[in-house]
Structure 1
C-alpha cells in the first residue's frame, strides 16, 4: 500500500505564498503544504504526539465530525486518548506501527491497520517501535436510536478488505467498505475509494451526506460545487451536505482517498441538529 504521510517542517522563505487553499460555504481544500510545524496541535493526555486538525464542528464548516492526522514519536501515545464517552472513532494507520489495546485485547496496527472504536470502548494507543508512526483519527458523536444496538468495536487491515467495483466501470472505480452498508447500527462510514488512471465520477453527486476526504495517493481534478480544483496526495477536502461533487483521475498512478460520511439516520428537524 502507498499512503502519503505529512512530515511537517516549514516552507522556505523563497517559496511563493500562493497555494490552493480554499474555504467556502460549501467546501474547503487544505493543501498538503498546510500541514506544517506551525499548524500542528497538542492533545491532552497524549505524550510525544502532535496532530493536524483537518476538520471540527464549526458554524459554516464541518457539522458531524472531527478529523485529525496524528504523529506519534517513539515511546509516545496515550492511556486516556479521548475524554468524550459518546464519541465513536476510526483509527487508520499510514506509517510506522502502533499498539492498540482495545477492551483489554492488544493489537499491533502497522500501515493499513484500521480500527473502529465504538462509543464507550476502553482503549489506549502507544508507539513501542523505534520510528515515528502516523495515523488518521476520525471522531463522531454516536447517534443512539431506540431499539437499535450500538455496534461493536473491531480491528482489521485495508489489505484484507476487497474493493467493490462500482457498476459499469470495469474496475476503474472501486470502494473498500469496512462496514456492511446495510448495517443500520452504524451512523458513519469511513471507506477507501480508488480510481484507476482515467477513472471518473461521471456526474455531479449531490446528497445529504457530509464528507471529509483525505487523498492517500495520486492526483485528480475534483468538481467542488461549481469549481474544478486540482488535488493531490496529502490534500484534505471538506464537502458540505448537498455540495455537487465529481472527479477525473488523470494518472499516471491510482487516485485513492479516505472518505468519511454520515449515514443511516433521520435528518434533524431543528437547525443544527442531525
Structure 2
C-alpha cells in the first residue's frame, strides 16, 4: 500500500552564505522549476483573494506551452476569496496538498483537506475560505474551456485521491499506476489532471513523444526524468513544464514511491489558428 504524502513550498529565502548554483533550467522544449526557487520573493498576489499568495508555475507562452496555467496557492487563516476566478472562459482544478478549507460550489459546501480534488467548470460559482488556524496550500490549474457543439459542458464535482480510479499501466504488474479523477472516454472534458505513481525502481520505459502539453509537480519521492535529450534528477516539490512533443521518460529512485500531479490537454482537434 502506498503511503501518500504531498509536498508544499516552504517559502523563506536562502541564506546569504549559500552558493547560487541551482537546478533551474528553461529550454525551448521544457522547463524545470526546483522547489528551492519557490521563495517568498517570487510569489504573486491575485485579485479578490485575501491573505493569499501564489507561486505561478506555468502560464501560456506563445511558442512554448500554450494551453494552461498552474499555481500553488497558500491561504493564511481567515483568508480566501468570494470572487476567485475573473475569467468566465476558465475551468479549473484544485488539488489540496496541505491543511484544509471550505469550498462552496453553487451554494453547496465541501470540506477540503490534503488529497482533496475539485473540478470547476467555466462560469462556475465558487468560493474559498480558510476557517482554520493554519495556512492551507493547494494547486490551482486553469485552462480556457474548448466547447464543442453537440457535447454537453462538464459539471462541477469534488473527489479525493482515495476515491480516484487507480489504473495500472499495461504489463507493469502495478509498478506504474495512474489515479484518474475523470473517465478518459468522457468527451465533455478537454483536460485531465491525474496522479501518476511509480514504485521504487519502476520506469516509463520509452521516450513518450506526443501532442499533449504537460505540467508535472512532484508530490513525493524522487526520480530521474528524461526531458528531450537530457536526464534531469527531480524530487518532491519540483515542477516540470513540457512543451508538446517533448520526449519524456523516467526512472523512479529512492525508498519512497515517485508520485506527481500531471496536467495534460485532451479530447479535442488541434487548433489551426495559432
Structure 2 length as normaliser, TM-score?
A: 0.98
- Of 149, 163, 167, 2:166 maps to 163
Residue of structure 1 equivalent to 2:125: 122
Question: What secondary structure sits across from 1:38 in the alignment?
Answer: helix
Structure 1 length as normaliser, TM-score?
A: 0.98
CA RMSD of aligned residues (A): 0.7
Distance in 2, Cα, partners of 1:27 & 1:133: 29
Distance in 2, Cα, partners of 1:14 & 1:159: 43
Residue of structure 1 equivalent to 2:52: 49
1:236 matches 2:239? yes
Residue of structure 2 equivalent to 1:8: 11
Distance in 1, Cα, partners of 2:162 & 2:9: 22
- Of 243, 252, 259, 1:249 maps to 252
1:194 matches 2:202? no
Distance in 1, Cα, partners of 2:183 & 2:136: 29
- Segments of 4+ in structure 1 off by > 4 A? none
Unaligned regions of 5+ residues in structure 1, if any?
Answer: none
Residue of structure 2 equivalent to 1:134: 137
- Of 20, 25, 30, 2:23 maps to 20
Count how many residue pairs are aligned between Structure 1 and Structure 2.
271
Instruction: Write the deviation string for residues 216-236 of structure 1: whole angstroms up to 9, x where unpaired.
Output: 000000000000000000000
- Of 192, 206, 213, 1:203 maps to 206
- Of 26, 32, 35, 2:35 maps to 32
CA contact (8 A) 1:196 1:251 kept: no
Distance in 1, Cα, partners of 2:256 & 2:99: 23
Distance in 1, Cα, partners of 2:89 & 2:44: 23
